[in-house]
Amino acid sequence: MRAPASNPRLLVTTAPGHDHLRSLLSQPWPAIEAASRPLGGGRGGVRTLPGGLVIRHCRRGGALGGLLGDRHWSPESAWDEMRISETLLREGVAVAEVLAVRAEKHGLTWRLDVVTRTIEDAATLRDCLAGEAPRGFPRLPPAAPVAAAVRRMHDSGLWHADLNLQNILLTRHGEARIIDLAGSRLRRPLPERARLDNIARLYRSLEKQHLRVPRFTLLRFLMSYFVRDRAAVKRAAAAAESKMRRHRLWWALTGRKK
């Protein structure tokens, strides 16, 4: 990965072997927007580029999201995402391949865009469960491939900052890939508390999307993830339910799900 010395208000960083993206990403944003098109499936801020590429506009999440929107104090978070992607792909973890980062300064803050390689013939886990995936994708995908991808990610030391149904892709070949590593962190070994937090986030995503999944499917996911360690399955289920009680209270108080 290299960060070129260029216009200090527009920095384009490319992964090794992808310098050809520099000329495209060095253009003003309206030109990039004109050369791309919105990606379907409800993934806001994501557009497709020629050559089998996807560009994602990075928005802030959590409580800061409502205040800062797409403003970041530095490009570091996007550069971290690229470094993490390179590391995990070398180790055989099924994550999105980050090819480039575009960082444009506006006043004291930055707007960031991350370019990844398109994962061909894939649909989000959310669209599969909602019955909105393209023809040929199962309405209720098998739990084992998803559990295996999440477990492999955790075994590599990655805590995903936003593990939800939109950030897990399923291919027609039955493979699961994890995308959008923004804000994620590597910690080796990853403690069980961080693993349970991610699983609880995935559980919360089901409820936020108003998707009904058979209880046995959730149990199969946990049993696959924990390799039939029933004590660990019980801890994960308890952690998810504890977190959900807090979120349900928040949703009831605010009248919205965030």
47-87 tens-digit pLDDT:
999 999 999 999 876 655 567 788 999 999 999 999 999 99
- Rounded CA gap, 15 and 3, in Å? 9
User: Is the pLDDT confidence value at 220 over 90?
Assistant: yes
User: Is the pLDDT confidence value at 217 over 60?
Assistant: yes
Confidence class of residue 138 from pLDDT cuts 50, 70 and 90?
A: confident
Q: Which tokens hold the place of 28? A: 């003003």
pLDDT of residue 242: 86
Domain ranges of the chain: 10-117, 122-247
For 40-182, where are the alpha helices, taking DSSP H only? 62-68, 76-90, 125-129, 143-155
Beta carbons within 8 Å of 120's beta carbon, 6+ residues apart: 52, 171
User: Is the pLDDT confidence value at 165 over 70?
Assistant: yes
CB 211, CB 125: distance < 8 Å = no
On whether the pTM is more than 0.75, the answer is yes
Residue in this structure with the two tokens 């590593």, named with its chain if needed? 181
- Rounded CA gap, 157 and 163, in Å? 14
How large is the average pLDDT for residues 22-46? Answer: 83
Tell me the C-alpha to C-alpha distance, in Å, between residue 154 and each of 95, 178, 245: 12, 12, 25
How large is the average pLDDT for residues 142-146? Answer: 93
Neighbours of 94 (CB within 10 A): 21
User: Is the pLDDT confidence value at 213 over 60?
Assistant: yes
The CATH code for residues 10-117 is 3.30.200
Sign of torsion, CA 212 216 221 222? positive
Amino acid at 37: R
Neighbours of 222 (CB within 10 A): 22
How large is the average pLDDT for residues 14-28? Answer: 93
pLDDT of residue 207: 84
CATH class, 122-247 region: mainly alpha
pLDDT of residue 5: 44
Region class of 136: left (phi > 0), else alpha (psi between -120 and 50), else beta:
left
pLDDT of residue 196: 94
How large is the average pLDDT for residues 204-215? Answer: 86
pLDDT of residue 133: 92
User: Is the pLDDT confidence value at 181 over 50?
Assistant: yes
User: Is the pLDDT confidence value at 42 over 60?
Assistant: no
User: Is the pLDDT confidence value at 223 over 90?
Assistant: yes
- Closest Cα to residue 138, out of 101, 99, 171, 110? 171
Output the average pLDDT for the chain: 88
Q: Which tokens hold the place of 195? A: 């693993």
